[in-house]
Amino acid sequence: MSQMGKLKKHRLVVGLVSLVMAGSLTACDDGRAGAEQAAKQLASSLAALDVGQLAVEGKDAAAANDQLKTVFEGLDAKPEVASGDVKLDGDTATFPLNYSWNIGSAKWEYSSEASLKKSGDKWAVQWTPALLAPELAEGETLSVKTVPAQRGQILGAGDAPIVEDRPVFRVGIDKTKVPAEQADASARALATLLGLDAGEYANQVAASGPQAFVEGIVLRAYTAEITEAKIEAIPGGSSILDSMALAPTRTFARALLGSVGQASAEQIENSNGALRAGDTTGTGGLQQKYDSLLRGKDGVEVLATPEEKSEGETLGTKVFFSSLPSPGTTLKTTLDLKLQQLAEETLAGVGPASAIVALKPSTGAVLAAASGPGSNGYNTALLGQYAPGSTFKIVDSLAMFRNGATPDSKVECPSTLTVDGRTFKNAEGYPEGSLGSVALRDAFAHSCNTAFINARDTVSQDQLESAAQALGVAVEAPKLGADAFLGSVPGAAEGTEHAASMIGQGKVLFSPLSAAVMAASVANGAPVSPQLVLNPDAAQNTDAGQNPSAGATPSESGGASPSSASAAVSAVPVSPGSTKPITKEEAAALSDMMRAVVTSGHAGFLAEVPGTPVGAKTGTAEFGNDNPPKTHAWIVATHGDLAVAVFVEEGGLGATTSGPLLKSFLTAAG
């Protein structure tokens, strides 16, 4: 044979050998090299969850492959598998298989013993279930059970618990207690009792396994309509006593705190593997913003569940692996439970969206941030965006002081004023005696719109923006620790838009929080930076990509300040073009005028509030296209070391709508 022919024959033999080795655990080598190659092939096939192409003894290769997939299906993951040192004993080879799984937040590592037997030129796997996991028996499958971590508490002022584990009843259908043919009817009957969508709940029950408990609702307590007897009268109906992280009442600071419940399909999908079906997670508010901190890390158990041995009888479940849960971290806030509850009770009968925000001027602590029932779950207190109306005259007055005015300076207050064809007027019922040339204090006390619009020629829009920032509003990044809107005051406006800005309309927007901050800065004699979340760990663990509530325009606030509730207030960051923060002298002049609103203006009803004298400013802001237009009703007040803003979205005049709410709150607050 020619040299070329010999070379072609050699290449053909090598090619055939390669094809044989690629399709099964084979080797022409009679020694260690072939066994080691076969061991590596087995390890890589197990890691891919596919041994269908391997030579197998003890079980058909296809059946072995099916068993592999069935055993590991419940782990919802793929392992890393590596073969260890191979020991040869004639035609038998043994070696360890080292498995590594990522199960939830835990790593499960173990080794099993594998054997190969040589038959001809093949090394065949000696198949047993223990090859997949030590002590795994025939017919057993692996599954993961989550061991929930104890969720971190949310604390209020003085570390008083707000959200903590409280007893609840989980109500649903236990499919082990109802015949399969009865499950649909039972699901629909229970849904009707609980006020759920019957078709949707019936579908959930139908889609669940035969051993499932399908939760329908969680109750703090039974009611007259939903009793234990009525639940258990439905075949399969069951209520399970459990605990859940809850606030003192169902509505307590709900818009601010958020809620806790089972993760939705959307939350699971967006969690990048952090959440699994059945996990508990936060929805909305602080519970969602700080979920990764509060949730802690769940533990896991890997269980081996056997086949049924006889009808209705199963063997016990073996625990193959377990990791302990790590409890969540406590979130500390400045909320005063008494004042928060009082604020909510004050708003309980208000139909439109509404809010009360109370701050402690000396520290910036947010003591209450209540959104009324008309807000329908929206965080009006922190995220609402509304024209502040005449409460903004506090900002106007500061800008006028910086141009040389004092509370005693004379200003002109005509009954109407026309700017570029648009006529502005004072509120209905404005006193005739306060028209004409009056002291700025008097114009402020009676809220003369035309007097402040008249000041537009001496107070620029840029000066309004600077004065607002000097009072701690319309700033970028307060150390609040919660999503919030801190106000918006455009730095440029002309004509009627600038005139509208002078009475808190146009494009000027405040939230109830920013209105309270403005009042607090007057009481404090320096800008107040509001604080709600106190512990610095919260800031470090917050998901920076967390979005605020839908529809909000948040500030760029970060996490919590490391300072405590009693720490001194830090200066509020202001834009490069702004002037100095409010001074104590300027604050004293504003306090003088706010007191005049009570002593001689239209908030005289606040003179009856016991304790330290109250200073206030009312506000009414028109909105919409109705004739006459609808109005937002505002009032802000200072009362010792307390600053409060009250807002009603559609509420007539600030003095007559929000004023009585403020009086009730301050009187009860003591």
What would you report as the CA-atom Rg of the chain, rounded to the nearest whole angstrom? 36
- pLDDT of 315 above 70: no
Tokens describing residue 320: 């193959």
Q: What angle do CA 664, 666, 667 make, to 5 degrees?
A: 65
The string of pLDDT tens digits covering residues 514-529 is 999 999 999 999 999 9
In the predicted structure, residue 565 carries a pLDDT above the cut 80: no
* Residue pLDDT, tens place only, 450-473: 999 999 999 999 999 999 999 999
What is the phi/psi pair of residue 66, to 5°?
-65, -40
**Mean pLDDT to the nearest integer, 96-112:** 94
Q: What angle do CA 557, 561, 562 make, to 5 degrees?
A: 160
- For the residues 195-212, what does the mean pLDDT come to? 90
Confidence of residue 149 (pLDDT cuts 50, 70, 90): confident
Q: Residue 641's closest CA among 394, 369, 362?
A: 362
For residue 590, the surrounding DSSP H or E stretch is helix 584-599
% of the chain at pLDDT higher than 70: 87
Mean pLDDT lowest among 59-73, 300-314, 382-396, 523-537: 300-314
pLDDT at 536: 58
Q: Is pLDDT at 132 greater than 90 in this prediction?
A: yes
List of domains in the chain: 3-135 (3.10.450), 154-332 (3.90.1310), 337-542+557-629+646-657+664-669 (3.40.710.10)
Q: Is the pLDDT of residue 27 over 60?
A: no
Which one has a higher pLDDT value, 12 or 407? 407
- For residues 610-636, average pLDDT: 93
Residue with more model confidence, 555 or 417: 417
Residue 20 scores a pLDDT above 60: no
Type of residue found at 240: I
Give residue 316's pLDDT.
55
Residue 545 CA to its chain's centroid (Å): 11
With a pLDDT cut of 90, the percent of the chain lying above it is 66
In terms of average pLDDT, the best of 31-35, 419-423, 470-474 is: 470-474
Torsions phi, psi for 533 (to 5 deg): -95, 130
Q: What is the pLDDT of residue 6?
A: 46
Q: How far apart are CA 518 and CA 245, in angstroms?
A: 34
Cα–Cα distance between 390 and 635 in angstroms, integer? 9
Mean of pLDDT values over 430-449: 92
What does the pLDDT look like over 571-601, one tens digit per residue? Answer: 344 443 446 899 999 999 999 999 999 999 9
597/416: higher pLDDT: 597
Pairwise pLDDT comparison (194 vs 541), residue with the higher score: 194
For the segment 312-338, the average pLDDT, to the nearest whole number, is: 85
What is the mean pLDDT of the segment spanning 502-511? 95
Averaged pLDDT score across all residues of the chain? 86
Residue with the larger pLDDT of the pair 470 and 558: 470
Greater confidence, 29 or 97?
97
Cα 133 to Cα 129: distance, rounded to the nearest angstrom: 7
pLDDT (tens digit per residue) in 366-398? 999 999 999 999 999 999 999 999 999 999 999
